[in-house]
Amino acid sequence: MRLSDFDFHMPEDRIALRPARPRDAARLLHIPASGPFGDQGVRDLPHLLQAGDVLVLNDTKVLRAALSAIRPARNADGGDVAVSVNLHKRVDDARWRVFAKPGKRLREGDRLEFGQLVATIEAKSEGGDFLIQFNESGAMLDAAIRSIGSLPLPPYIASKRDVDAADEDDYQTTFAAKDKTESVAAPTAGLHFTDGLMNQLRAARVEFARVTLHVGAGTFLPVKSENIAEHQMHAEWCEISDSSADLINRAKSEGRRIIPVGTTALRTIESLAVGEQVRAGTMDTDIFITPGYCFRVTDALLTNFHLPKSTLFMLVSALAGLDRMQAAYAHAIATGYRFFSYGDACLIEAGK
C-alpha cells in the first residue's frame, strides 16, 4: 500500500488544544465491525462494553523530556548555539537517544550544557537522532531532568500555545505508575479515564490488565516513504507482567474480548503474543502494523483520532479496514469530533 492511501483532509479547527473537562466528558465514536457508526460518549463505555471484557492499560508515565541546552562555541565557528533537545529512548543510566535542533550544527564530541547538567554527543545516527551521555546518572540524572525539563506536548499543540501547569495533570493518565517515568508522549487514549469511570466499569464486570510501553519515536515519527513497506519503526521498550499475562490468557481462553486502551497497549500485547496468548516478559518492539496484519490477541481497540498518513492511522485501518476507517474519520470530521492527543475517542471493533 502507498502512503497516500492513508491521507485525509484534516481541518485545523478540529485539533484539540485542551482536553475535555472532566476527562470522561469526551465524545466517543463507536465503530462496530459492520453497520452504522454510533455517536456516544466516553461515559457510555460501561454500557458499550460487555461483562468479562478486559481493558489493557499502558501504565507508563510521561517524562519531562523537552530540554533546552547551549552548545558552546567552537573555535571561530560563530559563537554559542541554542539547542532544543527531546529525549526519546533511555540507553542506560547515563545515556539517552535524543532528537536535537538545529541538528546540522551538532557533531560527535560536542558538549551540551543544560545549566549544571552537561552531556556529550557520542554519536549521530543515520536516522538523524543523537546518542548523548550525561555527567550524571541514575536517580541523580532523573532528578535533574525533572527539574529542568518540560512536558513534550505534540508539535500541533506546542506550536499554538505554551506548556502550562494544567498540562502537568492533563497529559498524564490517572493510572500512570510513578516508577515507570520514561515515555516521551502520553498514551493518549488513557487520558479519558477517571477513577469514577473505572469504578463504573468494574461494577459492569469489566477487568483491567496493566502493561507498559515507554512511548518513544516509534509511536510518533512520520512516515516519509510513499512505499510504506520501506518505513522502519524505532524500537520501544515494553513489558507484560506475569499477573497481566495470566489475566489476558485466561480471558482469551474463555472467549472474552481483549480491548487495548490505545495503540501502545495494542502493540505491546501483539508484540508479546504467542498464538492467541501472550507471554510475560520484556522486549524492544519495532512492530509496524498495517492492513493485512493478522491480529492474534486484540478484539477491539479504544483509541483517539490520529494524524493523516501516520503509522497509527495505518494500525486502526489494519484492525477495521481502510475504507471503514476513512468513512469513520469523515463522519467524525463532519460531526465535530475533536482530534489527536487531547481529542475525543473511538471504540473500534475488529473487522470480520
My answer on whether 230 and 336 are in the same domain is: yes
My answer on whether 218 and 344 are in the same domain is: yes
pLDDT band at 266 (very low <50, low <70, confident <90, very high): very high
| Distance (Å, whole) CA 203 – CA 83 | 50
Q: What is the mean pLDDT of residues 297-312?
A: 97
Q: What is the mean pLDDT of residues 86-108?
A: 94
* 274 inside domain: yes
**With helix as H, strand as E and coil as C, how does the chain read?**
CEHHHHCCCCCHHHECCCCCCCHHHCEEEEECCCCCCEEEEHHHHHHHCCCCCEEEEECCEECCCEEEEEECCCCCCCCCEEEEEEEEEECCCCEEEEEEECHHHCCCCCEEEECCEEEEEEEECCCCCEEEEECCCHHHHHHHHHHHCECCCCHHHHCCCCCCHHHHHHCCCCCCCHHHEEECCCCHHHHHCCHHHHHHHHHCCCEEEEEEECCCHHHHCCCCCCEHHHCCCCCEEEEECHHHHHHHHHHHHCCCCEEEECHHHHHHHHHCEECCEECCEEEEECCCCCCCCCCCCCCEEEEECCCCCCHHHHHHHHHHCHHHHHHHHHHHHHCCCCECCCCCEEEEECCC
Confidence at residue 1, expressed as pLDDT on a 0 to 100 scale: 87
My answer on whether 120 and 265 are in the same domain is: no
* 156 inside domain: no
- The total domain count for the chain is 2
Burial of residue 75 (number of CB atoms within 10 Å: 0-12, 13-18, 19+): exposed
* 227 inside domain: yes
| Signed CA dihedral, 76, 82, 87, 92: sign only | positive
Tens of pLDDT, residues 121-179: 999 987 789 999 999 999 999 999 999 999 999 989 989 999 999 999 999 999 999 99
Give the domain CATH number at 105. Answer: 2.40.10.240
Tens of pLDDT, residues 200-224: 999 999 999 999 999 998 788 899 9
* 154 inside domain: no
Tens of pLDDT, residues 41-78: 999 999 999 999 999 999 999 999 999 999 998 876 67
Q: What is the mean pLDDT of residues 97-104?
A: 93
Question: How far apart, in Å, are the Cα atoms of 3 and each of 137, 157, 222, 305, 313?
Answer: 41, 24, 11, 18, 11
My answer on whether 273 and 325 are in the same domain is: yes
My answer on whether 50 and 79 are in the same domain is: no
| Signed CA dihedral, 248, 251, 253, 256: sign only | negative
My answer on whether 39 and 119 are in the same domain is: no
Confidence at residue 242, expressed as pLDDT on a 0 to 100 scale: 98
Beta partners for residue 226, in sequence order: none
Give the domain CATH number at 276. Answer: 3.40.1780.10
CA angle 42, 44, 49 (to 5 degrees): 105
On average, the pLDDT of the chain sits at 95
* 311 inside domain: yes
My answer on whether 71 and 121 are in the same domain is: yes
* 109 inside domain: yes
My answer on whether 224 and 315 are in the same domain is: yes
Confidence at residue 126, expressed as pLDDT on a 0 to 100 scale: 79
Residues of the chain with pLDDT > 90: what percent? Answer: 91
My answer on whether 318 and 211 are in the same domain is: yes
Confidence at residue 77, expressed as pLDDT on a 0 to 100 scale: 65
Is the pLDDT reported for residue 292 higher than 80? Answer: yes
The residue among 119, 148, 177 that closes a domain is 148
My answer on whether 35 and 108 are in the same domain is: no
My answer on whether 184 and 302 are in the same domain is: yes
Q: What is the mean pLDDT of residues 100-107?
A: 92
My answer on whether 133 and 246 are in the same domain is: no
Q: Which three cell numbers stand for residue 158?
A: 506546542
Candidate from 123-127, 281-285, 301-305 with smallest mean pLDDT: 123-127
Is the pLDDT reported for residue 285 higher than 80? Answer: yes
Confidence at residue 76, expressed as pLDDT on a 0 to 100 scale: 63
* 163 inside domain: no
The residue among 87, 116, 148 that closes a domain is 148
* 158 inside domain: no
Domain span at residue 189 reads 3-62+168-349
The residue among 115, 148, 181 that closes a domain is 148
